[in-house]
Chain A
Amino acid sequence: MRTHVELRSGAYADSVTLLQVSRKVQDIDGILAAQVAMATELNIEVLTEMGFDVPADATANDMVVALRLDDPDALAAALAGVDQALRDVNRRDSGPTELAPPRTTAAALRRAPGGIALVSVPGENAFVEAMDAIEAGSDVMVFSDNVPVQQEVRLKEYAAERGLLVMGPDCGTAIVDGVGLGFANVVAPGPVGIVAASGTGCQQLLALLDHAGVGVAHALGVGGRDLSSDVRGLSTHAAMDRLDRDPAVELVVVISKPPAAEVAAGVREHAGDLDTAVELALLGPGQPDLTAAAERILARLGRPVPDWPSTGTAAAPSGGTLLRGFFVGGTLAAEAKIIATDLLGADAGHTFIDFGDDAYTTGRAHPMIDPTLRLEHLAQAATDPDTAVLLLDVVLGHGAEQDPVALLAPALARIDKPIVVAVVGTQADPQGLERTVEALADAGAEVHLSNAAATRRAVELVEAASR
């Protein structure tokens, strides 16, 4: 066994791309472990933990290729594989133009004036790119997380001066004029305008409204911190005004965790000043869940509330006492935890893991893109005798994994414990809602469209198991 570490100065690729490269390289014969990453502080830590020695002079502008081989002779082939993988992921038809691509958001907006900027560079660099957009008179969605809060405030204040909208930071989902940005479901145009401080919360609402036959004009994300006392709902206010001005919007819905009291008061007051009706859907303990919020929205629109669909039946419990919730959506995990804790009591040992949390995404892509980590945990929990029921979410839409059931369904089929899955998706989502639901049901899972309903069903099964 030997290790090989090399630095490539001046080479750069984003973390998602390098993840794909690392995975491809791992598949090469003779390689035990491979990590191709930019030498950020964080990645160096990861590499060191993996047992690689990273040269001290490495900077975030260097690419590290770290390999562990069981056969020293495999090195040449492995390095050739790294080069090939890097070439493959970078291959893109640049079209008939000989113009080099723009290097900053400002330069790109000079070429495509009026475009919406979508920023997902590392958090410490996101502010500068987003400011470019505001300066150029463009709205911006900041997907990046780890943006310092004072930068968020400055960005939003500047946008307010210029009558522009900042969606984010840490905004995963938006739909603007029918175009989905980030993780977004495909919805028909309709009377609802959403302001969302929660990405997957917004997606659950989109899925439920879609099932009820109600379309959505826009879903404007504002970032999880927008309604904090630091940020004072700057984007929420801007987004509410934006939706109020759109004659297509009949009802403005604001989804958020309970905001700071004075910020909530401001939002309520602002809601009263709008010409358009506003529904505040505040999430958290003692608050209605997302499904109840969707039902309230339908009632205000005078639309019937449909039965929320479920497909398949979970296996009967076969021992164990614990509910294991493995989520890719943060708000979905939080919602499940609140509902289950309410029914089963706190501190009972049930787990609700959000794999999209920073603790699980350092050095890897979001679980909606890369399912590996959740699949590992799932396999482990399935063999744990204490596990009574497995509760999962699967989120469809643009930006998410192209075929989430490809790996998940076979994994579920191997498990004999009861499994309940919330599939958050719309009819027109590219992955195919029906196909996804059927594949999971065929694998033995019970599939719900409503995360709240899925959770209540899982709780029922836990209670049955412990009886």
Chain B
Amino acid sequence: MTTTLPTVVNVGADLLADAVASQAVDVTRVAWQPPMPGTAADLATVAADPLRPAANQRALEATLAVTARLVDVVPAAEALGLQAGEFLHAGPPITWDRASGPLRGALMGGAALEGLVGTPEEAAALFESGSSVSLAPCHSRSAVGPMAGVITPSMWMFVLEDTDTGRRTYCSLNEGLGKVLRYGAYSPDVLNRLSWMSGVLGPLLQRAVRMVRDTTGPIDVTGILTQMLQMGDEAHNRNRAGTLMLMRDLAPAMVTSGMSSADIAEGFRFIGGNDHFFLNLAMPACKLALDAARGIEGSTMIVAMARNGTDFGVQVAGTGDEWFTGPAQLADGLFLGDYGPEDANPDIGDSAITETAGIGGFAMATAPAIVRFVGGSVPDALATTRRMHEITLGENPRWSVPVLEFQGTPTGIDVTKVCRTGILPQINTGMAGRIAGVGQVGAGLVTPPAEIFPKALARLAEVARAR
């Protein structure tokens, strides 16, 4: 035993902490509260699972070990083998009849973009009939999509690769803000922009990305994330520094791509004018990291949080590809123009993959510039990031927050810790209009529905008992 006085952590009756403190011993007091209703037995079962500690350590380490590199830009048909009539969407699986306005709008726009119908309005009947079209979550095809997350075969995708394992993830190119397909808008200017992205931006980026890849090596997206988190981006609702760094890295290759100077200039103008362009690299980088933890038996770490505008779903490392879902919530935040809460659709998008990986809302402390945009204050932002450490397995040593003394971002959401503390993951999000075709109406903060965590916990307990 040691010769120095021990320190004590007290959880439970304050009186016992007082008794220790009266002996001039340091006491750290846990502000304990009962767990979410009905979870005590499952929490004990999962805590007793002999696989859990090592499994969680492995899941966290595997996630942190991944370096995502941008290796290619190709159409979804080529990258994912997506066939005509196949539509990917954000969030857990959903059918047309349950799809929300913005998801329907994006699917209708996507159908028109692919030439399956003459106008987006005609597509409603096509999806209602269900013949010759099919819906599947992006996550089921190693992809992620922001907001509605609709991916069709002709859309160009970023391809990210983990050099060590060769695993890949994919994400479409970001269209910008306002009236855009991912927010459910499908007007002609939306479709024209998408056509230009497929015809010009995609090929331009492909040439540039391949040229960089083949000369100086592929761009290290994880490394850019490291830097942007120190430059005021949290990589979900603020991607300004990341976007500029990407452009810096690609610019020489874009200029020498052999495309017309007008197209190159338009490409620069488009990327430079879209502060969220890098989001579509941050998301697949996060997915690539988290996918490394998928399927680790006994792990209680969440590997995906995603919403389809109707349901919020999570997937957990120790429970395979099963989704645990509940109703998507309305975000709390600020609205554009005359829009108000009644215009907003419930939470939508795969972009909560950033929070799942420890950035976005989890790294709010590093992005004070946007706290007002999502309706908060700087102290709130610091408190949020600190609070997220209560429900995560560890910290990311690469992604650090200067204002918190370079503490690593809170990484690896633990289902058991969410159930124990009742602290829900904090997500920064954009808000889509609830009517198909409207587009973005605001941005704010949102949390998952609480009940999905006890559901996931119950399955983890069931699996542990069966072992």
Give A residues with C-beta under 8 Å from B.
Answer: 12, 14-17, 38, 59-61, 98-112, 114-122, 124-125, 127-129, 131, 133, 135, 138, 143-144, 148, 151, 154, 158, 176-182, 184, 218, 242, 245-246, 369, 398-399, 430
B35-73 CB mask vs A (1 if < 8 Å, else 0) is 111001101100110100100000000000000000000
- The closest CB in chain B to the CB of A127 belongs to B44
- The closest CB in chain A to the CB of B395 belongs to A110
CB atoms of A14 and B14 under 8 A apart: yes
Given contacts A99-B386, A100-B387, A128-B420, contact A115 B16 (CB under 8 A): no
Would you give 27 A-B contacts (Cβ < 8 Å), ordered by A? A14-B12, A14-B13, A16-B15, A101-B29, A101-B31, A103-B32, A105-B9, A107-B30, A107-B389, A107-B390, A112-B7, A112-B26, A115-B26, A116-B6, A117-B8, A117-B10, A117-B11, A118-B11, A122-B34, A127-B47, A128-B43, A128-B44, A128-B47, A154-B48, A158-B50, A177-B3, A246-B1
Q: Which of B1, B20, B47, B386 is the most central at the interface, judged by chain A CB atoms within 10 Å of its CB?
A: B1
Majority secondary structure, A binding face:
mixed
A-side contacts of B47, CB under 8 Å:
127-128, 131
C-alpha spacing A176/B50, complex, angstroms: 28
B-side contacts of A127, CB under 8 Å:
44, 47-48
CB atoms of A112 and B44 under 8 A apart: no
B125 interface residue per 8 A CB criterion:
no
Q: Using a CB-CB cutoff of 8 Å, which residues 159-179 of chain B contact chain A?
A: none
The 8 lowest CB-CB distance pairs between A and B, nearest first, are A120-B12, A101-B31, A115-B7, A399-B19, A398-B19, A108-B9, A112-B28, A103-B421
Give B residues with C-beta under 8 Å from A.
Answer: 1-17, 19-20, 22-23, 25-26, 28-37, 40-41, 43-44, 47-48, 50, 53, 379, 383, 386-387, 389-390, 416-417, 420-421, 423
CB atoms of B20 and A181 under 8 A apart: yes
CB atoms of A176 and B12 under 8 A apart: no
* Least Cβ–Cβ distance between B1 and chain A, in angstroms: 5
C-alpha spacing A158/B5, complex, angstroms: 25
CB atoms of A111 and B28 under 8 A apart: yes
CB atoms of B48 and A118 under 8 A apart: no
CB atoms of B15 and A399 under 8 A apart: yes
C-alpha spacing A176/B14, complex, angstroms: 19
Q: Name A124's contact: one of B1, B16, B41 (CB within 8 Å).
A: B41
CB atoms of A12 and B7 under 8 A apart: no
B-side contacts of A61, CB under 8 Å:
33-34, 36-37
CB atoms of B9 and A116 under 8 A apart: yes
Given contacts A127-B44, A181-B8, contact A176 B420 (CB under 8 A): no
C-alpha spacing A199/B17, complex, angstroms: 18
A-side contacts of B34, CB under 8 Å:
12, 38, 60-61, 122, 125
C-alpha spacing A353/B298, complex, angstroms: 47
- The closest CB in chain A to the CB of B4 belongs to A177
Given contacts A103-B32, A103-B390, A179-B23, contact A119 B11 (CB under 8 A): yes
16 further A-B contacts with Cβ under 8 Å, apart from A115-B7, A120-B10, are A15-B13, A38-B34, A99-B386, A101-B30, A103-B31, A104-B390, A104-B417, A108-B11, A108-B29, A108-B30, A115-B28, A125-B43, A127-B48, A133-B9, A179-B6, A246-B1
Q: Name B11's contact: one of A17, A98, A121, A242 (CB within 8 Å).
A: A121
CB atoms of B28 and A102 under 8 A apart: yes
- The closest CB in chain A to the CB of B417 belongs to A104
C-alpha spacing A12/B26, complex, angstroms: 25
* Least Cβ–Cβ distance between A88 and chain B, in angstroms: 13
Q: Which of B9, B19, B41 is the most central at the interface, judged by chain A CB atoms within 10 Å of its CB?
A: B9
A-side contacts of B10, CB under 8 Å:
117-118, 120
Given contacts A103-B390, A128-B47, A176-B6, contact A144 B12 (CB under 8 A): yes
B-side contacts of A119, CB under 8 Å:
11-12
* Least Cβ–Cβ distance between B37 and chain A, in angstroms: 5
Q: Name A103's contact: one of B17, B23, B423 (CB within 8 Å).
A: B423
CB atoms of A115 and B41 under 8 A apart: no
B-side contacts of A101, CB under 8 Å:
29-31
Q: Name A100's contact: one of B9, B22, B386 (CB within 8 Å).
A: B386
CB atoms of B16 and A179 under 8 A apart: no
CB atoms of B30 and A102 under 8 A apart: yes
C-alpha spacing A120/B416, complex, angstroms: 20
CB atoms of B2 and A104 under 8 A apart: no
A-side contacts of B421, CB under 8 Å:
103-104
A-side contacts of B7, CB under 8 Å:
112, 114-116
CB atoms of B15 and A177 under 8 A apart: no
C-alpha spacing A143/B33, complex, angstroms: 17
C-alpha spacing A218/B3, complex, angstroms: 12
Given contacts A119-B11, A177-B1, A399-B15, contact A59 B37 (CB under 8 A): yes
- The closest CB in chain A to the CB of B50 belongs to A158
Given contacts A177-B5, A179-B25, contact A118 B31 (CB under 8 A): no
C-alpha spacing A99/B31, complex, angstroms: 12
C-alpha spacing A100/B29, complex, angstroms: 11
CB atoms of A242 and B1 under 8 A apart: yes
B-side contacts of A60, CB under 8 Å:
34, 37
Q: Name B20's contact: one of A109, A112, A118 (CB within 8 Å).
A: A118
CB atoms of B13 and A104 under 8 A apart: no
CB atoms of B23 and A124 under 8 A apart: no
B-side contacts of A184, CB under 8 Å:
19
B-side contacts of A109, CB under 8 Å:
9
Q: Name A118's contact: one of B12, B35, B50 (CB within 8 Å).
A: B12
